[in-house]
Amino acid sequence: MIVERRFGDHAVLVEEHLEGDEVSLLALCDGERAVALAPARDYKRIGDGDAGPNTGGMGAFSPVPEVGPELVEELVATVHQPVVDEMARRGTPFQGVLYAGLMLTSDGPRVLEFNVRFGDPETQAVLPRLRSDLLDALERAARPGGLAGLELEWDPRSAVTVVLASRGYPGEPETGDAISGLDAVGGEVEVTHAGTAAGPAGEVLTAGGRVLNVTALGDDAARARAAAYAAADMIDFEGKQLRRDIAGVPV
């Protein structure tokens, strides 16, 4: 690539190979300070064991056991807060959600990416655990300095989200298939729609690559994932794809 200039006469960016565990840490920002949401872990590849191509995310869980409150504080102080401070210094204060995708390496945390939005599917696993009023927190973030004194309360239980994707995803997803079993899901399971549409008779059809998110709460990650997979298995459509190793070994 470099010697033969295979991509033409362009600069080549060499990136450090990072090994470790990924964590997504989102923070609400009010232009002055960053307040962390609960950490989550996302699963980006299509297949179990991180096989196959990258996707928009095939599942998530929260909390992340190795990312306790002290590490969260450290991450916000070293990753999110400096961004908020620098944006304010430049006269362009940032108010909103700052998403940091992080790799926890043996040399310490490293930033993989920033987004200025909620993460998908992390949010599906994080927000069901939020016990504080989300609207109040968002309104406070919209006021300069409005997050002062905010302490978010979290449900100590675990949440696991399993994404149901359509046949062909992430390449060329096929759509228009009828989805069955949505009414059978109950209990502490939340099904959020991502790529669905209403059919002519009111039936629910697949209408995108990632179709549904199935999120369950449980007293621990094992119970949450058992409930999430039980619900995910009740829902069906032609060519349904899901990872079986979200938050644990394949089930």
Site residues for ligand GLY per CB under 6 A = 42, 57, 115, 119-120, 122
Query: Could you tell me the smallest distance in angstroms from the CB atom of residue 108 to ligand GLY?
Result: 22
Which C-beta is closer to ligand GLY: that of 26 or that of 185? 26
Cβ-proximal residue to ligand GLY, closest one: 119
Q: How far is the CB of 137 from ligand GLY (least distance, A)?
A: 19
Of 39 and 119, nearer to ligand GLY (C-beta) is 119
* CA–CA distance, 175 with 62 (Å, rounded to integer): 30
Give the strand pairing for 204-206 and 108-115. unpaired
Extract the tokens encoding 154.
């979290």
Query: Which CB sits closer to ligand GLY, 120 or 177?
Result: 120
Beta bridge partners of 54: 45
Q: In the complex, what is the shortest distance from the CB of residue 123 to ligand GLY, in angstroms, rounded to a whole number?
A: 8
Identity of the residue, 122 or 190, whose beta carbon is nearer to ligand GLY in the bound complex: 122
- Cβ burial of 112 (10 Å; 0-12, 13-18, 19+) is middle
In sequence order, what are the beta bridge partners of 193?
Answer: 212
Cα torsion 6, 8, 14, 18 to 10°: value is -60
CB of 200 to ligand GLY, least distance (A): 33
- Which DSSP helix (H) or strand (E) runs through 217? strand 210-218
